[in-house]
Chain A
Amino acid sequence: DAGVIQSPRHEVTEMGQEVTLRCKLISGHNSLFWYRQTMMRGLELLIYFNNNVPIDDSGMPEDRFSAKMPNASFSTLKIQPSEPRDSAVYFCASSLSREQPQHFGDGTRLSIL
């Protein structure tokens, strides 16, 4: 039973470059969440989708960040242009429905130089 799959696991790039993080949901799950984890701010919700529709993007830090769900099983989080303060571990999680727990991927560790 495959869990949530994120790619890449690690990304190192220079500031100003576009970064795309990818997430494959667990089959049949209809809610998708993007979180960011840093030592200073802990885990923060960036955006979440229900049935491919963005419900709350109030956690997206700036217009440089965008997230999409081109289909029911896949999502991307894009940062353009990237900045050093975007360095963090980015997690996506999916859930089957309300009252069900969220299943997390193992994250993408992003370093912006």
Chain B
Amino acid sequence: SQQGEEDPQALSIQEGENATMNCSYKTSINNLQWYRQNSGRGLVHLILIRSNEREKHSGRLRVTLDTSKKSSSLLITASRAADTASYFCATGGWGGADGLTFGKGTHLIIQP
């Protein structure tokens, strides 16, 4: 069963705009991760936020976590055509050692 549910399922924006994707989950977590998947490729880890953190930044990425609402958001600022991909949130045990449960993803299209 899916732990995370991303919203929206698809998002199309113009290059240079910001993209925001949301994720909701059902059970208690130790951390939440975001991954990107380009068409025909495997997933690539973007960022991990721990349950005691509320916000984390990495380059053009900003992730927030609200454990009271069981939700997270991923913000990509100043989007580029190369950001076109599917984005997944994932929950698991201690990050790398336990299997991850993924949402169904947000398909992001950046229009040049």
Contacts and interface: CB of A to CB of B under 8 A. Distances in A.
Interface stretch (B14-22, B64-72, B90-98): B90-98
Interface of A: 4, 31, 33, 42-43, 45, 47-48, 50, 56, 59, 91, 93, 95-107
Contact of B95 (A33, A100, A106): A100
A50 B99 CA distance: 11
Contacts of A96: 96
A101 B41 contact: no
Given A42-B2, A43-B88, A103 B45 contact: yes
Contacts of A103: 45
B104 A42 contact: yes
A56 B41 CA distance: 25
A56 B99 CA distance: 8
B94 A99 contact: yes
Contact of B98 (A48, A91, A101, A107): A48
A93 B42 contact: yes
Contacts of A50: 97
B33 interface: yes
